[in-house]
Amino acid sequence: MQKLISRRSLLSAISFLPAAKLLRGQSPQAQQDGSRATNFSADVKVVNLFATVRTKQGKIVHDLTKDDFALDDEGRQQPIKFFSQEANAPLYLGLLVDTSGSQRRVLTEERSASFKFFGQVLRPEKDLAFVLHFDYQVELLQDFTASRPKLERALDLLEVGDQRQQQQGQQGGQPGGNYPQGGGGYPGGGGGYPGGGYPGGGYPGGGRRYPQGGGGNYPTGGSRRNGGTMLYDSILLASDDLMKKQEGRKALVLLTDGVDAGSKVTLYEAITAAQKADTLVYSVLFADAEAYGNNGLGVPGMGRRRPMGYPGGGGGGGANRPDGKKVLQQIAQETGGRFYQVSHFHPIDKIYADIEEDLRNQYSIGFTPDQPGEAGLYHHVHLTAKKKKEVLVVQARAGYYAT
């Protein structure tokens, strides 16, 4: 069985993994006023948006031209300088699976559907994917690979967190308390990331330690014994440590009930990380109606939780947790992905087919902002499309951060 790379060692291990072979081939349909590729030189400040377009009835529109689109940046119209249809461009795909206790009864179905999804969406020698799961920790089960057998083995390893804790307890537990190499926080001790943290001594962006505080458990203020659902942490790690290094079309598929319990980063930070990595997030609400019993918390997405607003915090008490459905809708909307909810009428197999259709019918739209603004400043963008006076529905990210 392959060796697992856990949340506890993910950051240190990533730096030693062989770099994924980036596939930078251009689409034969690439156009810029008729013909330019979508690979841009490093000194040109280009903002690139991936968009999927549908009719109001939900039918994919795949024959638009650059002139069918209009784009504004903070309300100012921008000329579209780079345009292509990206059906043949390489795809980098990440599958993030919630393995907390609330997913116990749906995990088998998720695993089975994911087998089929990888088989249908990944093209040999062109697309790469990884598998990551999260509960009281975030664990990379398979790094980027084009190998279906490796991805299937990773899916076979998915199990609910408390079952894994029980197995670890029978095997003598983990060395050094809850994290290897001792210390009070992450590997390497000192409460920071491996080697004393990210550049600048903290994470994210320097200036603050992660996790904060001392304690031998993760997250601070909780412990493995209490379980957890590191939803926001998983999005940030997948974006920062895996997706940000790639160039081209990138998407995360998130299978969860949308409830975070214990992340050290906020919903705002998770969404920001995905936006900065130019990564779409397809969020799939897969909730077990009986998972929460009669504890008063309600089923995620059923409106009984009291929303905390945006940005959202990590795991507080049950009554203060955000509504899972609203959280997942926000993640998808602000990153340019789509939100889905598994139901009898919309099973996960059908949802995966919809996501595949999305990923195979994207437009790449690039522009150079007329007012780039201060580095790190968030810009709201609005992309619209029309064809023969019919207003179409455009799915694209809501903005970008100036570099």
Distance CA 26, CA 24 (A): 6
Which two structure tokens, joined as six digits, stand for 298?
């309600």
Domains observed in the chain: 10-19+89-178+217-359 (3.40.50.410), 47-87+361-401 (no CATH)
The three-state secondary structure class of 229 is: strand
Which two structure tokens, joined as six digits, stand for 361?
């019918």
DSSP H/E element including 367: strand 363-367
For residue 285, what are the β-bridge partners?
Answer: 256, 341
**How would you write 284-329 as a 3-class SS string?**
EECCCCCCCCCCCCCCCCCCCCCCCCCCCCCCCCHHHCCCHHHHHH
* Residue closest to 204 by CA, chosen among 256, 116, 266: 266
For residue 365, what are the β-bridge partners?
Answer: 49, 83
Q: Is 267 within 8 Å of 274 (Cβ atoms)?
A: no
Q: How many CB atoms lie within 10 A of CB 293?
A: 7
One-letter amino acid at 333 equals: Q
Beta strands (DSSP E) in 180-324 are: 249-256, 280-285
Q: What are the C-alpha distances in Å from 251 to residues 128, 238, 283, 332, 356?
A: 11, 10, 10, 11, 11
One-letter amino acid at 78 equals: Q
* Residue closest to 211 by CA, chosen among 200, 225, 221: 221
The CA-CA-CA angle for residues 24, 27, 31, to 5°, reads: 120
Predicted confidence pLDDT, tens digits, the chain (403 residues): 444 444 444 433 333 333 333 233 333 333 333 334 344 333 448 899 999 999 999 999 989 999 999 999 999 999 999 999 987 889 999 999 999 888 888 888 889 999 999 999 999 889 999 999 999 999 999 999 999 999 999 999 998 865 555 555 545 544 333 333 333 333 333 333 333 333 323 333 332 222 333 333 333 333 344 458 999 999 999 999 999 999 989 999 999 999 999 999 999 999 999 999 999 999 999 887 666 554 434 444 444 333 333 333 444 444 455 689 999 999 999 999 999 999 989 999 999 999 999 999 999 999 999 998 888 899 999 999 998 888 899 999 999 998 8
Distance CA 331, CA 339 (A): 8
Residues found in the chain? 403
Which two structure tokens, joined as six digits, stand for 14?
């990533």
**Radius of gyration (Cα) for the chain, nearest Å?**
21
